[in-house]
Chains A and B, each alone.
Chain A
Amino acid sequence: MEETRIGLYVCWCGTNIAKMVDVENVAKEMESMPNVVVSKDYKYMCSDPGQDLIIKDIKEHNLNRVVVSACSPRIHELTFRKALENAGLNPYMFEMANIREHDSWVHTDREEATRKAKTLIAGALNRVRWHESLEKRTVDMNPATLIIGGGIAGISAALEIADSGKKVYLIEKSDKLGGHLLNVDLTYPYMYSAQEMIKPKIDRIENNPDIDIFLNTQIEDLTGYVGNFQTKISQDGAEKELKFGSIIVATGLRAFNPDSIKDYDYANFPNVITSVEFEAMLKSGKILTKEGKEPKNISIIHCVGSRNHDYHEYCSRTCCMTALKYSNQIRSALPDSHIYHAYADMRAFGKGCEELYTKTSGKDVIFLMYDQKNDLPKIKKASVKDKCEMLIELNEKLSGESVEVAADMVILMVAMESNDNAKTLGQTVGVSLCGNEFYIEKHPKLDPVATTTDGVYVVGSCQSPKDIPDSVSQARAAAARILAKINYGTVEVEVTTAVVNEELCCGCQTCVCVCPYTAISYDEEKNVSVVNEVLCKGCGTCGSACPTGAIKCRHYTDQQILSQIEGLLSKSLELQEV
């Protein structure tokens, strides 16, 4: 076996590390550790000159292992692996010691922090000795895409992908495409007709030979991995199998049922209606009470089921602007009516939305602010002398006065919530739910349409309440990601996976039960477990559960972990004695 030659690099991270850790002292002292050939400190190891330093040393000193003690590996492990690769070394011959998040940022005693840095580095040095070369692997990419949900998000993604000549399977659980937009009249803030926007898109989808539409269809199960998925679908009872490389989940949302809010008594007042019902009224062209009369006083109550700890904590994002849109439409249809908004905050953040708010407030619309957390408005039956059907009582926050509002029609701006089958579908396609039961994305800021399962993307309101432009942007972003992968032709898969030593495996199948990615199957013939290395994420659960030690996790072998612990402990003891 060749001699182990380690290069150690201690990063200052400007003053982030250097102000709490004596980096020069650390680099100097750790030089005497076994197998360390060079030990250096530098202002910013991640900078180009910092990386060049490593590359130069590897070539000059013939290094075969590198340890960088700097920030979290989440931030720069890939950067340094790349540097090793550029110098001709296998990128896995590298280890990082985190002396920033785990040390300088969280301690206040410079001496102690310096000692801890040395301990952490000793662990890394001990570990890197046992690192092995690992080779990257790739699989072919199936260029077809499965899109679940035929609303505006699913439709936009389907067209984007099919327009570049790639196959799309579009699955819709109802009997027509279009989703919620089919029930919308005009859209805020520019008052475009929803039907004029969606109808041509549906026509294009129906006439595109690259898109296969499956209506009244459910997904039964899903197997495979990025680039090579397959699913069973059932359409009107008939089962079918599809194969594809990527999945877009665009299952949308449903409206909140306001029955549970006692103060509004939605079930008993015929003229207390939800925004969904009012939208249908607008689409039919007539605003009428249940008695068939034109309402004189129309009240709109905001945040019904949103932003309240009893219902949903989150903001449904579109209701404020929809309510303003209603005001404009009511004002045009019934110029003499009184329009009241009982609102908690007016949220007009999108493009053109603040302008819509300003424009609407000039149309003699009264905004009354109520306490959304503790003091909801109450709808009551009015008496004959009130000359209206209902009265809404509320404590108005901006004036501090208790007021009542006459109402012949009350519109409840109901919240958006996730579909009732979101959890089951999520489990099928391997996407988890966030606290609000919406699908969770890979990273809320830097990777908003991907999920933790490679090849599965979430777009539109199934990820969180969204308006049309946001849903369309997400859909097209996901389409672009998929097209890029299809264009590349192959996908890289994880190499730090588990491997089964068939001689040690007793076929107990403990690993099969614990694997969270269903990556392990059981080979009955050989009576051993088999790891599907494309599905395996290298989480290590099987390795720690295996009773015979037959499963080895690449890059996280027992030997690597134990020697890291040994390094940590021996250095720690040594420093304590001094």
Chain B
Amino acid sequence: MIQRVNPDLKKYLVKYGVQDWNECFHCGNCTAICPLTDQGFLFPRKAIRQVQMGLKTSLASNFDPWLCYYCGECSETCPRDANPGELMMSLRRYLTSVYDWTGFSKLFYTKKIWEFLTIIILFILVIASFVVWFPKEQIANFTTYIGDHSFLKVIEAGDLIMAAVVAFVLISNIFRMWYLTILKPKYKVPFIEYFRGIYVLPGVFASQISFRKCDTDGRLYWVNHLLLMTGYTLMFILVVVFLPKFQVSEVYNWYHWQRLLGYYATFGLLFGLSAMFIGRWRKKSEKFKFSHLSDWLFIIMLFLTTLTGILVHIFRLADMPYATYYLYIIHLAVLVPMICVEVPFSKWSHLAYRPFSIYFYYLKKAALSKQHKSKLAAAA
């Protein structure tokens, strides 16, 4: 298929953080140094070329950016300071908006005011709903127990609806990703491979094991990421899916499994977030040199959610119902916009796209190897 060269795409991509594309003269050092480069997957050079030429279709079908964990070796090696690693990061933002059919992702990334507005509106809505509907006389014996108050029952229902909507958006976007990266470019994946490939997903999601290849030179990105990711996922499952089991009336012993899991998740979140925060603040490593607004929002909102969650826990143990109540409102007022905005439409969506890109990578390789074999057979 012949694509039209589009000089204006780059100007649009600037909003996602793409810069320095001009510097690249395609020496290929970035591809050579990348610990994850594989036969036929020669990133990041190929993606840079697609940006330079403005090949929209090729970019949309390119899931290489998701395979990259941004160790920064390429940017360090680049003789032209073209920052290929940051280009891959920016392309992940762009691809998020390409997959998202609702258009919110594009809106939030390209017009920052809308992201702020949405967060503030949701923040106010949560607080207002408490002010309006929560019975004032019950604040004095507030314990976060779902069964205590009819209003908290509403929150539980709202929580499940939110989870369903977020899941729907993410899953439909993953189907679009599949359409754009596998179906549309006409990779003929043998049907059986779809099933064979499924075993890849859970293991990869849990461990992100290929990230370990990027930990050369004594870097600990994988450990940081693992703590943050498992902590977040655990907490996400606990509060979104098992909310009634989590916010119960009695206080368990500290060694109860539920409290232990909660503490692990909290530790993981705090450790991972601090490492990211310090990294972005000091800007010493390539990975953290450039921070898009969405990167900071992600850290700040998650940090606020974690902090208020810890305080709610402490006040509740100390039997301080008023403090518990107000902190709980703030906790929800930060948590809700974070989940509604960040998970399906912004940085958090990588928790879905990354493991699926590895699945599609497996499928694409299977298709290419079949194509290669049939070519060899035809030649013979």
- Within 8 Å of chain A (Cβ to Cβ): is B183? no
Is there an interface contact between A402 and B1, defined as CB atoms closer than 8 Å? yes
Task: State the total of A-B contacts with C-beta under 8 angstroms.
Answer: 47
Is there an interface contact between B49 and A399, defined as CB atoms closer than 8 Å? yes
List residues 139-187 of chain A with CB under 8 A from any CB of chain B: none
Could you list 7 further interchain pairs (A-B, Cβ under 8 angstroms) beyond the known A398-B26, A403-B5, A404-B2? A338-B7, A340-B5, A401-B3, A401-B53, A402-B3, A403-B4, A406-B5
Residues from chain B with a CB closer than 8 A to the CB of A57 are: none
Is there an interface contact between A403 and B1, defined as CB atoms closer than 8 Å? no
Min distance, Cβ B25 to any Cβ of chain A, angstroms: 8
Q: A361-B22, A362-B22 are in contact. Are A403 and B49 (CB under 8 A)?
A: no
Is there an interface contact between A401 and B7, defined as CB atoms closer than 8 Å? no
A-contact 0/1 string along B44-57, CB 8 Å cutoff: 00100110111100
Residues from chain A with a CB closer than 8 A to the CB of B294 are: none
A401-B59 Cα distance, complex, nearest whole Å: 12
A364, closest chain B residue (CB): B7
Q: A403-B55, A405-B5 are in contact. Are A398 and B49 (CB under 8 A)?
A: yes
Interface pairs (17), CB distance under 8 Å: A338-B7, A340-B5, A361-B22, A366-B52, A367-B52, A393-B2, A396-B53, A399-B46, A399-B50, A399-B53, A399-B58, A401-B3, A401-B55, A401-B58, A402-B1, A402-B2, A404-B3
The 10 closest A-B pairs by CB, nearest first: A399-B49, A338-B7, A402-B2, A405-B5, A398-B26, A404-B2, A361-B22, A403-B5, A398-B49, A403-B3
B-contact 0/1 string along A262-282, CB 8 Å cutoff: 000000000000000000000
A362-B50 Cα distance, complex, nearest whole Å: 17
B-contact 0/1 string along A365-404, CB 8 Å cutoff: 0111000000000000000000000000100101101111
List residues 1-51 of chain B with CB under 8 A from any CB of chain A: 1-5, 7, 10, 22, 26, 46, 49-50
Min distance, Cβ A533 to any Cβ of chain B, angstroms: 60
Residues from chain A with a CB closer than 8 A to the CB of B55 are: 399, 401, 403
Min distance, Cβ B357 to any Cβ of chain A, angstroms: 21
Min distance, Cβ B327 to any Cβ of chain A, angstroms: 52
Residues from chain A with a CB closer than 8 A to the CB of B4 are: 403-406
Chain B interface size, as a band, is: 10 to 19
List residues 390-435 of chain A with CB under 8 A from any CB of chain B: 393, 396, 398-399, 401-406
Min distance, Cβ A336 to any Cβ of chain B, angstroms: 10
Min distance, Cβ B10 to any Cβ of chain A, angstroms: 8
Min distance, Cβ A268 to any Cβ of chain B, angstroms: 22
A361-B54 Cα distance, complex, nearest whole Å: 15
List the interface of chain A (C-beta within 8 A of B).
338, 340, 361-362, 364, 366-368, 393, 396, 398-399, 401-406
Residues from chain B with a CB closer than 8 A to the CB of A406 are: 4-5
Residues from chain A with a CB closer than 8 A to the CB of B10 are: 364
A231-B3 Cα distance, complex, nearest whole Å: 62
Residues from chain B with a CB closer than 8 A to the CB of A338 are: 7
A340-B5 Cα distance, complex, nearest whole Å: 9
A393, closest chain B residue (CB): B2
Residues from chain A with a CB closer than 8 A to the CB of B22 are: 361-362
Is there an interface contact between B2 and A403, defined as CB atoms closer than 8 Å? yes
Min distance, Cβ A492 to any Cβ of chain B, angstroms: 53
Q: A361-B22, A398-B26 are in contact. Are A366 and B53 (CB under 8 A)?
A: yes
Query: Could you say which of B3, B5, B26, B50 contacts A366, with CB atoms under 8 Å apart?
Result: B5
A386, closest chain B residue (CB): B4
A361-B58 Cα distance, complex, nearest whole Å: 23
A399-B46 Cα distance, complex, nearest whole Å: 6
A340, closest chain B residue (CB): B5
Residues from chain A with a CB closer than 8 A to the CB of B46 are: 399
A399-B55 Cα distance, complex, nearest whole Å: 10
A406, closest chain B residue (CB): B4
Min distance, Cβ A347 to any Cβ of chain B, angstroms: 13
Residues from chain B with a CB closer than 8 A to the CB of A368 are: 5, 53
B28, closest chain A residue (CB): A398
Residues from chain B with a CB closer than 8 A to the CB of A340 are: 5, 7
Min distance, Cβ A573 to any Cβ of chain B, angstroms: 62
Residues from chain A with a CB closer than 8 A to the CB of B54 are: 366
Residues from chain B with a CB closer than 8 A to the CB of A396 are: 53
A367-B52 Cα distance, complex, nearest whole Å: 9
Is there an interface contact between A404 and B53, defined as CB atoms closer than 8 Å? no
A-contact 0/1 string along B75-86, CB 8 Å cutoff: 000000000000
Is there an interface contact between A403 and B53, defined as CB atoms closer than 8 Å? yes
A368-B49 Cα distance, complex, nearest whole Å: 10
A49-B52 Cα distance, complex, nearest whole Å: 65
Min distance, Cβ A313 to any Cβ of chain B, angstroms: 25
Is there an interface contact between B49 and A404, defined as CB atoms closer than 8 Å? no
Is there an interface contact between A404 and B50, defined as CB atoms closer than 8 Å? no
Min distance, Cβ B352 to any Cβ of chain A, angstroms: 28
A368-B7 Cα distance, complex, nearest whole Å: 12
B4, closest chain A residue (CB): A404
Min distance, Cβ B78 to any Cβ of chain A, angstroms: 15
A401-B46 Cα distance, complex, nearest whole Å: 10
Min distance, Cβ A555 to any Cβ of chain B, angstroms: 57
Q: A399-B46, A399-B53 are in contact. Are A366 and B2 (CB under 8 A)?
A: no
A361, closest chain B residue (CB): B22
A247-B32 Cα distance, complex, nearest whole Å: 56
Residues from chain B with a CB closer than 8 A to the CB of A364 are: 7, 10
A-contact 0/1 string along B197-219, CB 8 Å cutoff: 00000000000000000000000
A367-B23 Cα distance, complex, nearest whole Å: 12
A366-B24 Cα distance, complex, nearest whole Å: 12
A16-B55 Cα distance, complex, nearest whole Å: 59
Residues from chain B with a CB closer than 8 A to the CB of A366 are: 5, 7, 52-54
Residues from chain B with a CB closer than 8 A to the CB of A399 are: 46, 49-50, 53, 55, 58
Min distance, Cβ A396 to any Cβ of chain B, angstroms: 7
Min distance, Cβ B184 to any Cβ of chain A, angstroms: 15
A405-B46 Cα distance, complex, nearest whole Å: 19
A393-B5 Cα distance, complex, nearest whole Å: 10
Min distance, Cβ A426 to any Cβ of chain B, angstroms: 41
A396-B52 Cα distance, complex, nearest whole Å: 12
A393-B1 Cα distance, complex, nearest whole Å: 11
B80, closest chain A residue (CB): A358
A368-B2 Cα distance, complex, nearest whole Å: 14
A340-B22 Cα distance, complex, nearest whole Å: 14
Min distance, Cβ B134 to any Cβ of chain A, angstroms: 57
B46, closest chain A residue (CB): A399
A366-B49 Cα distance, complex, nearest whole Å: 11
A403-B54 Cα distance, complex, nearest whole Å: 10
Residues from chain B with a CB closer than 8 A to the CB of A398 are: 26, 49
Min distance, Cβ A365 to any Cβ of chain B, angstroms: 9
Min distance, Cβ A549 to any Cβ of chain B, angstroms: 68
A402-B4 Cα distance, complex, nearest whole Å: 9
Min distance, Cβ A183 to any Cβ of chain B, angstroms: 30
B26, closest chain A residue (CB): A398
B45, closest chain A residue (CB): A398
A323-B53 Cα distance, complex, nearest whole Å: 19
B57, closest chain A residue (CB): A401
Min distance, Cβ A243 to any Cβ of chain B, angstroms: 56
Residue with the greatest number of chain A CB neighbours at <10 A, chosen from B10, B22, B55: B22
A398-B50 Cα distance, complex, nearest whole Å: 10
A143-B121 Cα distance, complex, nearest whole Å: 94
